[in-house]
Amino acid sequence: MRTFIGKSQYDDKESFHLDYRPFNSGLLHSMRDEIRKINDRLYIGMGSMAASGGTLNPMPFTLYGGKNPWGGGRIRKNSGVSLTCHARPHPTATRAAAD
């Protein structure tokens, strides 16, 4: 994935971007995440991809955990890192899918 700090698609404030386009094709080609630091343990993010409505229907998520050294590989259970997704489809995206 390509990462960079730049203006948000949502409010033009600086965000940490994760752009998966260079490594995906098909429906996943447009997948992107934006993350902002709230405090030393909490980050909020917004994920989007064109197939699900893009920035009109983002998928919010949180990252929570302490600063643990990463040893490579997958995140281990009980590592102090968690990912929570609070996804609700935007009403217009739901109507458009039904049409």
Kindly state the tokens that stand for 96.
Answer: 């458009």
What confidence tier does 77 reach under pLDDT thresholds 50, 70, 90?
low
Confidence at 23, pLDDT banded by 50, 70, 90? confident
In this prediction, residue 32 carries a pLDDT of 87
Burial class (CB in 10 A: 0-12, 13-18, 19+), 21: middle
Cβ within 8 Å of residue 3, ≥6 positions away: 16, 17, 18, 19
> Which residues, other chains included, contact 29 with Cβ-Cβ below 8 Å and sequence gap of 6+?
21, 50
pLDDT tens-digit map of 1-22: 788 999 998 899 999 998 887 7
This prediction has a pTM of 0.61
User: Is 41's pLDDT higher than 70?
Assistant: yes
